[in-house]
Structure 1
Amino acid sequence: MKKKLIVTDIDGTLVNDQKEIMPETKHELKKLIAQGHRVVLCSGRSINGLKDYLMTLGLWAMPDEYAITFNGGNVFDLATMKSIDAHYLSADQAIEADQLAKQLRVGDTLVVASQKSYAVNSQMNAQALEDIRDSQLVPVETDNYDFLEGEDIQKCLWTDEPDRITMVAKQIPAKYFDEFQIVRSGPIFLEFLPQDSSKGNAVQRLAQRLNVDLKDVIVFGDEENDLSMFKVAGTAVAMRNARDEIKEYADQITVTDHNHDGIGKTLKLMFE
Structure 2
Amino acid sequence: MTGFLFVTDLDRTLVGDDNALKTLNQQLTDHRQKYGTKIVYATGRSLFLYRQLISQQSLLPPDALITSVGSEIYFNPNEDIFDSEWAEIIAHGWNRSQVISIAGNFSYLTHQPRSEQGLFKISYHLSDSVASVVLPQLKLALHESGLDVKLIYSGGKDLDILPQKADKGLAVEFLRQKWRIDEINTVVCGDSGNDISLFMVENLRGIIVGNAMSELREWHEANPSDIRYISTGKYAAGIIEGLQYFRFILFS
Q: TM-score range by the shorter chain?
A: 0.7 to 0.9
Given candidates 30, 35, 55, the residue that maps to 1:34 is 30
Is 1:77 the counterpart of 2:75? The answer is yes
Q: 1:112 aligns to what?
A: none
The CA deviation string for residues 101-153 of structure 1, in whole angstroms up to 9 with x for no partner, is 332212343xxxxxxxxxxxxxxxxxx35xx6xxxx289xxxxxxxxxxxx62
CA distance in 2, matches of 1:15, 1:164: 30
1:113-192 equivalences in 2 (<5 Å): 128-129=112-113, 137=115, 153-174=119-140, 176=142, 179-192=148-161
* Alignment of 1:53 onto 2:23: no
**Partner of residue 213, structure 2:** 242
CA contact (8 A) 2:102 2:142 kept: no
Q: Separation in 2 of the partners of 1:91 and 1:179? A: 7
Name the CA distance, whole Å, in 2 between partners of 1:167 and 1:198.
23
CA distance in structure 2 between the aligned counterparts of 1:30 and 1:176, rounded to whole angstroms = 46
Letter in 2 for 1:254: S
Q: Residue 262 of structure 1 aligns with which residue?
A: 238
CA drift at 1:264? 3.5
Any idea what SS the aligned residue of 2:243 has? helix
Letter in 1 for 2:130: R
What is the identity, as a one-letter code, of the residue corresponding to 2:30?
A: A
CA contact (8 A) 2:42 2:65 kept: yes
Instruction: Kindly state the Cα deviation for residue 216 of structure 1 after the two structures are TM-superposed.
Output: 0.9
> Within 2, Cα distance between the matches of 1:13 and 1:166?
26
Give 1:159 deviation, angstroms. Answer: 0.5
**Contact 2:184/2:204 (<8 A) preserved:** yes
**Structure 1 pair 202/80, CA: closer, same or farther in 2 (3 Å)?**
same
RMSD: 3.0
Compared CA separation, residues 105 and 89, structure 1 to 2 (3 A): farther
Structure 1 stretches (4+) deviating beyond 4 angstroms?
A: 87-92
Q: Secondary structure at the match of 2:29?
A: helix
Displacement after TM superposition at 1:222 (Å): 2.0
**Match of 1:218, SS?**
strand
Residue 190 of structure 2, aligned match among 199, 221, 226: 221
Task: Select which of 223, 229, 246 maps to 1:252.
Answer: 229
Give the direction of change, closer, same or farther, for the CA distance of 1:256–1:163 in structure 2 (3 Å limit): farther
8 Å Cα contact 1:236-1:252 kept in structure 2:
yes
Q: 1:218 Cα deviation (Å)?
A: 0.5
Decide whether the 8 Å contact of 2:188 with 2:206 is kept in 1: yes
Question: Contact 1:59/1:78 (CA < 8 Å) preserved in 2?
Answer: no
Question: Do 1:9 and 1:220's aligned partners in 2 also have CA atoms closer than 8 Å?
Answer: yes
Give the AA of the match of 1:25: L
- Work out the CA distance in 2 between the residues paired with 1:33 and 1:209: 22
Structure with the largest fraction of helix: 2
**Quick one: distance in 1 between partners of 2:243 and 2:208?**
13
Change (3 A) 1:171 1:138: closer
Runs of 5+ unmatched residues, structure 2: none
Percent identical? 22
Give SS of 2:207's match.
Answer: strand
Task: Give the Cα separation in 2 of the matches to 1:90 and 1:212.
Answer: 26
Match of 1:15 in 2: 15
Aligned to 1:145: none
Distance 1:48 1:22, change over 3 A: same
CA distance 1:173–1:32, shift in 2 (3 Å): closer
